Every structure is written in structure tokens, then in C-alpha cells.
Structure 1
């Protein structure tokens, strides 16, 4: 007969043995279940490749991943209870093996993979075009030759005609504001501009915008971009014009190369017929530049400056020089001089002064200044005519060419020069002007 202490020790040993046997039995059942899953997956998918497709990168570790194109949710892994998160929380660690899961799979990775279901047939990580919106609008590719608003369907194919792009391109967007009755021109950029000076491979471009026929005397001009052949402007300009009046007007963009000491060199121009473009769809226009008509300079050019002194009521015109004057009479030499005339629209006043004549010169230099008294009440409506004439001792003087300055004159350079002079008093502003052909005749 066993004593009480011996009996208690025997009972304890029996319990320990029973618990140990139960633990061993559970381990055997779990291992058998794992083997059964592996055997089943191998038979259905054919080897390790099939297991990778069905069970993810590491099916033996119980990390389930839904295959692309499958609409089923991943089955819960029976071995998930054998995993516990380590102290750092960066990977999964097996309590049975004491090692990290291969590949460094994290809990966040496994959870995200288990909850993602791809039922659309698209691969994971592919882009969704619907998530990237683009501003609606037609892209018009317009060649330099036509300039008449003819459209080309679709976008640019990347094949550039050398004749169309040899001077560069301008890119702008058109629109219309019906609330204010304004035509909106958003100048975006210019590309591949070619310098008129072969000694440099860059330009200092700016763009002048105008409607033809003109609707006002306001000069619209972009900012100056330094030393670049592909400038970005991103500026919007307004033209007050009725929507029904767009037909019959042309939009003209003139790209010029800035020159501080001489006339700005024209890089190229582009014009479009507004009547053939649907501005309500806000199209983006890519227009190729064409060369500027050099016939406007066939009579020569004249350089002079304007200076306005409101306090002293003085307008000073300093005539500097001319170049490439047209030979009127081949039988005699040129003796050019400059005549400046002040005119007023309402009062019709006329004041006239002349420079001296230069003997036998097609590129004369004068450097002479003329001053006129201009009261503030006469400034509005005042215009200035500057003409170059050929002195003839035996007959009447013939006009070589002229330029008109004022707020409402047709000459673009004359209108710009006058407006800048009025806006900047007490400053002498010089500019080259092309001489407009005049009928050869007597000078009065």
C-alpha cells in the first residue's frame, strides 16, 4: 500500500504523460494536415509551379495569395496558429522552427495580399487610364503654308515636315468668354525657334498678337524670354469682339528676336482664320511659323527716337539714320532728307520740320533733333508722319517712303512706338521703322 506522498507523485506523473501524449498527437495531426494540403495542391496544379500559382510565393508557410483573374477568396491556413509576430514586428517567425519566413514577408504584406481580389482580369500594378483625367479639347496641327484654319484630324504623329518646322512652331489655346464677349488666346510656348543671326544658336523671343482687321489700338505682347529656342510663356490675352464677328478676322502671332540696339528681327509669323475654328471647344493649336514678308522693308528703314516732356509741353524727335533706301532714279544719285509733320484729327493743325540732305547716300546718318510744342489737349488725337524724300535741285522732291505714328494708325510699329512714348514720359525711346511705299510724286 502506497503512502500518500508516493500516491500523489504517481498521479502527477500520469497527468504529465497524458498531456505529453496529447501534445504529440496534436502535432502529428497538424503535420498530417499540412502534408495533405501539399499533396492535394500538387495533384491539382502539377508540382511546385502549380503550388506557387495557387498558394502564393510560399504555400508551405501558409501565406495565401489570390491568383490574378480569380474571384475566390483565399482559404484560411491551418498553420496560421503556428506563427507569432517577433519582438520587432517586421517579419513572421515560426514557433516550431524558430526561423524567419523566407523572403521576409511581413504581416502587412500578407494581409494586403490576402484581402486583394482581382476580378477584372488585369494584372496587379497596372495603370488605370480613367484615374488620369485630361482637359478636353481638340488639338489642331496647322501648317505654315495654309494658315487658313484647316484642320488635321487626330494628334501629331511625330513626323515633321522640314518645310513647316524649319522656323519653329507656336502652341496656343483658343477660347471664348460669352459673359464678357472676349476672345481668349492662351499663349503656351514656342518650339524649335531658329535665330536670324547665324552666329548664335539661340534667340531672345517674344510674341506680338493682333487681329486682322484690327479691333482696337491696344498692343498685345508676351514677356521676353532670354537665350532660349523653346520658350514657355503661359500668358492669356483678351480681344473684345462679338462672337458673330469672329468670322472674317484672322489671328496673327509674330515671333521676334529682341535686339536692344537695332530693329527686332522677325523669326516668323503664324496666322489662322477664326471663322474656320470652333473656339468654344477650347482647341489647342500647334502652328508652324512662316517667314515674314520682307517686301515691307524694300523701301528701306529709318531709325529715330521719340521723347515727350509733359511739363515743358515738348515733343522731341531725333532722326538718327536710315539704311537700304530704295533708289528711285537710276540716272541720278540719292540725296535723302527727313521731313517730320505733326497732324491732329480734329483741329487739323500741321507743323513741319526737315533735316539736312545727305549727298549720294543710301545709308545716310543725320543725328539731328527736332522739337515741337505739344499741349496736353492736343496730345489726344495727335499723329506724326515721318517721311524720307530725295532732294532734287531741278525738279520736285520725290518721296521714298514714310511711317505714321499715333494711337489709331494702321502701322503696327508706329502705333507701338507712340504708345510706349506716351506711357514713358521723359525717356527717349528709339526704334527702327520700315518705310511704307508711297506714290512717287512731288513733295508739298
Structure 2
């Protein structure tokens, strides 16, 4: 009996020791899981606090810049105020800015109706012969149109120098953008005062081949920038040996042809594929420009929503740049038949970072009222590539 009593006591001690080990093991495992969950929670909080949500808007809305231009907007109004203040302080003469919309896609700007154009723009032009510099100063605007829903306007001015090979270029001939700038943003003002000055190195014999194009735009951080009107100043008939101040009434914006592109289209309904070939791009090059490269970005949109996009490789820019690249998009047949093809051509300077500059766009689409000729030929010749030259506009 004594033996069995001792044996039972030993069994109880063994059971007790096993229970303690299990208890500590469970506590240890629980502690590890707790630390992991705590780390995940801290990481999610950090991501939420540092995230910049992309503004919800149609795909043809201003996008990325840059290019098309898509930019991230902070929902915090205070952060947006700080951003706008930084933009204003960073604006200085002789520098190009891409904060309010460097890419400025043609598809990203709301269509302008003639009856909505009103107001005027005051600016000054001056050519400094000693330094061979053209100086452009945007002074102010007067009586701009306001938005119907907010009864206010947040204007800024986009300035482009358009250069043609000859002074007597006919209407519709190719030009190139020598330089472009944007003024600071003035909030809630129908008669904003800008006072921003920009300059560009330009030989005296080149001045007469330049046209200065001013586009007054209404900034909208949630949707598309709206063009309020434009003013143009051809320099071939002006004497700029002294500062010349001008005041022009705003007009309906016009597109300028800045090149041509040879594109091919092929639709394969069985495999639900759309092939867009970027074959050649013909542009006007200013002789004084340093080495540049080109690439094309093709976007497929449907009902103002971007579905797919692809870009070609970068090629050294020549008068005629050869790509011979085919971009393939796999989409449902219904979307292919209703989509819009937007080919955006960009110029970059390989030696500089963030030097991307939009050259222009090509739109190929089928709408309820009209059908692009190239699109029609593609649909009539299924499974066969159809090539055609298209004008590039900006």
C-alpha cells in the first residue's frame, strides 16, 4: 500500500510539472501572436497616415501631368493649402513648372464652348539683345468666367513658345514647343494679378518665327482643369527692343499641329485583342536643342475610364524617329468597339531626371456622331494591320 501511495504521488508530480510547461508554452505563443498583431496594427496605421489617395475622376480628367497627367490629391484641405503655397514660392523666372499639369492631355481638359469665353489677359514681351533672351511677363487677367456650381474660379496661365521653321508658315503647318511655363495659382479671383516673369534664350533671327500662346485655365483638384480661353502673340510683326505691354481678349482655344505619327491598327475579335503599332513619328526639331529622346504612351479609354496603357521604348529623337513597336491590348470585344485610343508623344532629356515634356496627342475613336477613318478601315479589315499617318496636336 505504501508503495502504491508513493507511486501515485509521483504520477501527480509528473502531471503537475507537465501542466506548468504547457501553461508557459501557451503563454509564450500567445505573447508572440500578440506582438505580431501589434506590429501589423502599427504598420496599417502608418500606411493610412502617409497615404495620398488619388482623386476620383474620369480617366479623361487631368492625369500625369506628366501625363496624361494624373496627380495625387490630399483630402486634407490644410495639406492642399500648404502645397499651393509651396507652388507659389517655387515659381521663379526662367524655369518650367509641371505641378499644375505638365502633361495637360487634350483629353484631360474640359471642352470649351464659345459662349463661355469671356475676359481679357494683360502681358508684356521684351527681347533683350545683349543677353539674347526673350522675356515674357504675365501681368493679370480681367473678368474671367466663373464656374456655375461654385460661382468662383481658381485661375492660372499656361505659356508656350511655339516655333515654326519659317516665318511664313501656313495655317496648319507643323510647329514645335521651344519652352513652356505656368504661372502661380490665384484662388477665387475673376481678375487675378500674376506678375510672373519667364525668359528663354533665343537668337535674334529666331524671334520672328515664334508665337507666344497663353492659355488661361481654371484649376480643379478633384476633376479636370477647364480652359477659360487663350490669347496669342505672333512676334513676327512686333518690335520688342523695349518692353511691349499688350492686352488681348480671350478667344476659343485652338489646337496646334506639332508633328505626325504613322500608326497601325489591328483588331482580332476571336482572341479579343487590339494591336496598336507605333511605327514612325515625324516632328520639327529646333536646331539649338540638345540631345533628346522620344517615346509614345498609348492609352485605351472607354466611357471616360482608362482601361489599359502601355509605352514604347525610348528612341533618340530625329526629324523622323523610327519605333516599329506593336502594343497589344486584350479587352472584351464590346469595349474594343466603343473605346478611344489616345497616343501621347513625350520628349525627354536622358541626362536629366524628371525632364519629361508632352509634345502632343493623337485621338482615334468611334463616337455616336462620327467615326474615325482609320478606325473604320480597321473594322473593315479584321485581323489585318492597317497603317495611316495622323497629325499630332497640342
Tell me, yes or no, whether TM beats 0.5: no
Normalising by structure 2, we get a TM-score of 0.42
Greater C-alpha radius of gyration = 1
With structure 1 as the length reference, what TM-score do the two structures score? 0.38
Task: State the structure with bigger RCO (CA 8 A, min sep 6), 1 or 2.
Answer: 2
